[in-house]
Structure 1
Amino acid sequence: IVDLDHFKEINDTLGHAAGDIFLQQVGQRIVSSVKGADAVCRLGGDEFAVLISGLRTPEHADAVAARLLTVLSEPVGFDGLRLSIEGSVGVACYPADATSFDELLRRADVALYQAKTARGSFSHYRVDRDESSLHRLALAAELRTALADDQFVVHFQPQFDLATGRPVGAEALVRWQHPQRGLLAPDAFIGAVEHSGLIRDFTMVVVEKAVAECASWAADGSQLNVAVNLSARNLLDKEISTDVGRVLLRHGLPAERLVLEITETTMMSELEVVEEVLGALRTMGVQLSVDDFGTGYSSLAFLQRVAVNEVKIDRTFVAGLADSESARALVRATVQLAHSLGARAVGEGVEDEALADALRTLGCDFAQGYHLGRPMPADALRKALGLRQLPLSAPGPRTEADGRHLRAIAG
C-alpha cells in the first residue's frame, strides 16, 4: 500500500480540482514504475494499492517499494508550481504474512503505519510490531472521539520579562484528559494527530481554548499574551487566518495578544504558500514566533523570507550557557540577530537561576522554563498571576535590586 505524505496540504491549499490532477499524475507514475503488476488501484483518499504476483522472495517486494519511493520523490508540476511529494509504503507478502486477500491488505496497512513513523520510507510487515501499529490505528479513532467529547485541555507555562521580572504571557500546551489513561502529555498523541488528518480541527480547538483564557485575563485587567504552537501542516492551510480571525472576534481579543509559534523546518519548496498564510496572519495583527530556533536546516533563509516578532532560542543552547563558551557565543549571536530584525529574543528551558542570569547578561528579552514556572492549569495560572510580579527566589537577604529577579511558581 502506498500513502502520499503531503496530499491533504495540497488539497486544502490548491483545491479539490488540483488534488484530482495531482492524484492522476501520481497514479500514472505508480503504474509506470511497476509494469507487469496484476493491479494498481486507488483505495481512497491518498492511498494506492499495488498487487504483484510472481515475485520470488520478500526482498523482491522490498525492491519494488524502494523503486516506488524513488519515483514519488520527484516534485509534481502544477500551474507553475513544483509540489513536493513523498510517500510511505507498507509491504506484505502471501503466504508468508497472510493467507487471504483481506488479511494481506490489512497487514500491508499495518506495515504502512510502521513506515509512516519515518516519512519517505517503506516497511515490511513484522508480526512483532503489529500490536503497536494496531494501537496506532485505535488511537486515531480515540482522537476523533476526544475532539467530539472535548477531552483536550490546555495548560499554560508563564513567560517573563528578564529585565523587569514581570509576567508577559504564557504558552498554551495541550494535554489529553483520557477517560481511561488519565492526563496524557503531547508526546503520547501529537504524532497520531498529524497522521490521522485531524490536525486542523485539533489546532483550532487549542486556539479556541487559549484565546478564551487570554480574553478572561484581559477582562481582569491583564495585558498578557498567549502563545499557541502551529504544525507545519497548518502553515499550508490558506483558511487558517480566517478561522483564527473568527475565534479572536468571538472572544473580543485584540489580534496582537495572540502569538502563533512556528517551527523553521518547513520545506523551502513550500515556502511560497507558507509566506502567504503567515502574511495573512500578520496583516490581521497576530504576532509570529519562530520556535526552537537553531534546530532546523533553514534558519536564516526562513527569517529572511518571513517577518517575525519573536525568536525562541532552543533549550539545547540555553542549557549550555553555564559551561560552554560556544553556547554563549551562539545565544549572544541569536539575540543580536533577533534584535537586528526588530524581534524579541526568548530563552527556553530555563532550569535554574544561573541560566536566567546568563540570558539576562546576554541581552535576552524574555524567558520561560521549569525554574520560572511549570505548565499548569488555567485556574492555577490565574492565581499565580494575581501576584502581578513574580521575582525569582534567591538565597540570602533580598535588596531592592533583587526585584529584577523572578521567582519560580509551582505547577
Structure 2
Amino acid sequence: MWLPASAIMAALLVLETLSYPLNKRASHFDRPLNLPLALAIFLVNLTTILPFLAFAFLLSTSDSLPFVLIGYMWVFGVFVHVSNVFGLLPLYNWSQMTPAFATIFMMLWNLSNNPAFPSSNVAWYVLAILTTVYIANTFDTMNLQKDTHRALRRAQNEANARLMELERLSRHDKLTGLMNRQAFEDTLESLMRQHANRLGVTVFVMDLDGFKPINDSYSHTAGDAVLVTLADRLRALAGKDGHVARLGGDEFAIIKATIISAKAAQRFSERIMGVIEEPIPFEQKNLKVSASLGIARQGRDAETMASLMSGADQAMSQAKQDPDKRPVIYDKTAFPTRATLEDRNVLIRAMADHQIVPYYQPKVSLETGRIVGFEALSRWEHPTRGLVSPAAFLPLINELGLQGAFMLHTAEHVLRNIQAWTAEGLNPGQVSINVSETTLATVTGHNDLLELIDRYPHLRRHLTFEITEDIFIARSSEMIQRSIANFRRAGVRISLDDFGTGFASFQHLKDLEFDELKLDTCFVRDLGVDPATHVLVDGLLTMGKGLGVHVIAEGVETPQQRDMLYEMGCEVVQGYYYGMAAPFSETMIRLEAEGYFTPIPQQKPQPLTQNLEQNTPKAAAT
C-alpha cells in the first residue's frame, strides 16, 4: 500500500513542479494557444487538483460533523490558495477553480442526502445560494486582482518611461539632443577602457568663434538655429562609430575610436572645420561661424579621461590664440604643466591660514594731496618663499576654479580691515576690490557676496567693486549687469577698471550702472611721449565728467604724468609715485598720519573729488 501511495505522491510533486512555470509561460503568450497545448495544460492542472478535491469530497460524505466542516474548510482553502497565488495566471486559475467549484456543489448534494444531517429543502437552497454568492465573489476578487495588477503594471511602465526620459534629459542637451558633458565623459571613460590595448580613442573639442555676435545681432533664435544645425552636421560627420556632445554654450566635442594616427586626426579635424564653417541658412541670411579646435589622443600623454579632456582643452586654448585658427594636437612635452589637485589644496590652505591677504595701494586727490581711498591687491605671504606676487598665484586661482572662494576670502579680509580702521576713528575712504566674472555671472557667487556684505551693513559706503571691460563679451553679460545693479542697490559703488582697453562701447556705457572709471596704465604711461595718448586721455576724462562719474588714472609714476593729468582735469590718481601696495599695518600708519601727500600748488575747481571723499555713490538707475 505504501508503494502505490508513494508513487502517487511523487507523481503529484512532479506535476506541481511543472505546472506553475508551464502555466506562467502559457499565460504570457502573445498569440492564442493551440488546442493540443491548451488541453495538455488543462489535464496537468486537473490531475494536480483532483487529489486535493477528492480529500475534501470524502470528508463531506462522513456522518461526523467535524469531518464535514474540515472538508468544507479544506476546499475553501483550495479556493483561497489558487485565487491568491495563481490569480494572475488565467489558464492555471480557471483549470483549477472550475473543478473546485463543481466539487463544492457535489459536497452540498451529498450533505443534503445524508440522513445524519436532516434539514428542510429551504435551508439547503439558501446554502446553495450563499455558496453561489461566495463563488461569484471569488470570481470578482480574481478579476479585481487582475485589474489591480494591470493598473500597477501600467503605472510601473509609465514610471519607468518617465525615469528613462528623465535619465535621457539629464544626459542629453535639450536643444540639440546631443549628449551633455556628464554623458560624454562617462562614454569617453568607457571607450578608453575598451580601447586601452588597441589604438585608443581620440577626442576633438571645439569652441565656436563668432557665435555671440549672431546671438546679439540676429536674436537667440538665430543662435539656437546655428547650434542645432551644427549638431546635426557633426552627428552626421561622426558616423555610427563616433559620439558627439554639446559640452555647454557653444562648445562641442567628438569621440572617435577609429583614428589610427596623428595625421588621420588632423585630416578629420579639417573635415570638422569644413562643416562648421559652411554657411548656415536662417531667414534668407547665411550665418557663418568658425571654431577653435583642440585634439587629444589616448596614450602616454593622456591615460585617463580627465587628462585626455584636459589635454584637448589646452590644445583648444592654444588653437584659439592662433590667428589662422588651425587645429592643435595636444603634446604633453610642448604644453605647460597644468595645476594639480595638490596645488588646489595648497591654495585653499593658504587662504584658510590667512597667508593670502590684501595689500592696499592709495588713491590720492591731486587737488588736496589727501588719500581718498585704496585698492585692495592680494599678496601671498608665503612662510618659506616670502612675499609672492599675484602674477604667480592668480592664474592658478582661475585655472583651478577657486574664483568664488578667493573672492569671498578677499572681500571678508577687506571688510574686517575697514572695520578695524573705522573702530580707531580712521577714514579709509573708498576701498576697491577686483570682482571676478564668476562672482557676477553665477547666482551662487552673487548671493554669497551679498550675504557677506549684509553682515557689515555700516561698511558698505566704503566699498567699491572693480570690474573689467571684458564683462561685456561674457556669455552671461545680462546676469552680470543684474548683479551689478543689485550691488549698487545694496550701497556698493561700481568701478569700471582698465577703461579704454577692453570691449565697452557707448551703448554699454549707457546701459551699465557704474560710479567710477579707471583709466588704464597704458594711457598714463605714454603721456608726454605719444601726442595721440594726450588726446585720448583728455577725451576719456571729458566723457567721464559728462557721464557724471569719477575718473581715476592708474599707473602714475612720475611728476610729469601727475602734472599733465591735473592740467587735463583728472582729480584722483593711483600709482607707484604715491607708493606701492602696503599691508594692513602700514596702511593704518598712513591713515593715522592723516594720509596726506604734497598737493599740486595750482588752484583748480573740484566738482567731483568732494563727492568721492564723502563716499557718496551715484544713485542707481531706476
Q: What's the TM-score, normalizing by structure 1?
A: 0.76
Quote the residue 2:399 is aligned against: 195
1:309 and 2:512 correspond:
no
The question of whether the paired residues in 2 share the 8 Å contact of 1:98 and 1:107 is answered with: no
Note if contact 1:211-1:253 (Cα within 8 Å) is conserved in structure 2: no
Question: What SS does the corresponding residue of 1:243 show, helix, strand or coil?
Answer: helix
> What is residue 541 of structure 2 aligned with on the other side?
335
Match of 2:466 among 261, 276, 279: 261
- Does the aligned pair in 1 maintain the 2:295–2:330 contact within 8 Å? yes
Matches of 1:140 and 1:34, distance apart in 2? 39
Match runs of 1:114-129 below 5 Å = 115-116=316-317, 123-129=328-334
Q: How does 1:53-202 map to 2 (within 5 A)?
A: 53-62=257-266, 64-65=268-269, 90-93=294-297, 97-98=299-300, 102=303, 106-107=307-308, 109-113=310-314, 115-116=316-317, 123-129=328-334, 132-135=336-339, 138-202=342-406
Check conservation: 1:88, 1:116, Cα contact below 8 A: yes
Aligned-partner residue type, residue 281 of structure 1: F
Unaligned runs of 5+ in 1: 1-15, 75-84, 405-411
Change (3 A) 1:285 1:162: same
1:110–1:134: 8 Å Cα contact kept in structure 2? Answer: no
Identity among equivalent pairs (%): 27
Supply the distance in 1 between the matched residues of 2:397 and 2:310 (Cα, whole angstroms). 18
Task: Work out whether 1:35 is the aligned partner of 2:238.
Answer: yes
User: 1:212: Cα distance to partner?
Assistant: 1.3
Are the equivalent residues in 2 in contact too, given 1:37–1:52 (CA < 8 A)?
Answer: no
- Tell me how far 1:376 sits from its aligned partner: 1.1
Shift, 1:321, TM fit? 1.4
Specify the code of the residue in structure 1 equivalent to 2:334: R
1:215 aligns with 2:451: no
Identify if the C-alpha distance between structure 1 residues 393 and 278 changes in structure 2 by more than 3 Å, giving closer, same or farther.
closer
Instruction: Determine if contact 1:311/1:346 at 8 Å carries over to the other structure.
Output: yes
Q: Secondary structure at the match of 2:437?
A: coil
Greater relative contact order structure (CA < 8 Å, 6+ sep): 1
**Separation in 1 of the partners of 2:462 and 2:262?**
56
Native 8 Å contact 2:363 2:373 kept in 1: yes
Q: Answer yes or no: is the 8 Å Cα contact 1:37–1:50 preserved in 2.
A: no
Give distance in 2, aligned partners of 1:66 and 1:198.
35
Q: Which has the higher strand share?
A: 1
Over residues 20-45 of structure 1, what are the superposed CA-to-partner deviations in whole Å (9 max), with x where a residue is unaligned? 74796564839616523645388999
Structure number having the greater helix percentage: 2
Which whole-Å CA distance do the structure 2 matches of 1:166 and 1:113 have between them?
A: 47
How far does residue 243 in structure 1 lie from its aligned partner after superposition? 2.7
Instruction: Tell me the equivalent position of 2:23.
Output: none
Moved more, 260-269 or 358-367: 260-269
Q: Which residue in 2 is equivalent to 1:238?
A: 443
Q: Give the residue type in structure 1 aligned to 2:307.
A: R
Q: Which amino acid aligns with 1:98?
A: R
- Counterpart of 1:284 (choices 490, 497, 517) is 490
Q: TM-score, normalised by structure 2?
A: 0.52
Deviation at 1:119, TM superposition (A): 5.6
Q: How does 1:297-376 map to 2 (within 5 A)?
A: 297-376=503-582
Counterpart pick for 2:409 among 205, 220, 223? 205
- Structure 2 CA distance for aligned equivalents of residues 21 and 337 of structure 1: 45
Q: Secondary structure at the match of 2:372?
A: strand
Which is higher, the Rg of structure 1 or of structure 2? 2
Asked if the contact 1:153/1:177 (under 8 Å) is kept, the reply is yes
Q: CA RMSD in A?
A: 3.9
Q: Pairwise mapping of residues 42-57 of structure 1 onto structure 2 (< 5 A)?
A: 50-57=254-261
In structure 2, how many angstroms separate the alpha carbons of the residues matched to 1:315 and 1:251?
32
Aligned partners of 2:542, 2:462: CA distance in 1, in Å?
Answer: 24
Amino acid at match of 1:220: E
Identify if the C-alpha distance between structure 1 residues 70 and 290 changes in structure 2 by more than 3 Å, giving closer, same or farther.
farther
Deviation by residue 1:32-83 (Cα, 9 ceiling, x = unmatched): 1652364538899999874323335414324545666898999xxxxxxxxx
Aligned partners of 1:334, 1:217: CA distance in 2, in Å?
34
Question: Take 2:462 and 2:495, find their aligned partners in 1: how far apart are those partners?
Answer: 12
* Structure 1 residues 342 and 240, CA gap change in structure 2 (3 angstroms): farther
For residues 63-122 of structure 1, give each alpha carbon's deviation from its aligned partner in whole angstroms, at most 9, with x where no partner exists: 545666898999xxxxxxxxxx9997653336xx539x8368635534533544676876
For residue 129 of structure 1, report the CA deviation from its aligned partner: 3.1
Alpha-carbon distance change, 43 to 33 in structure 1, aligned in 2, over 3 angstroms: closer
Letter in 2 for 1:206: T
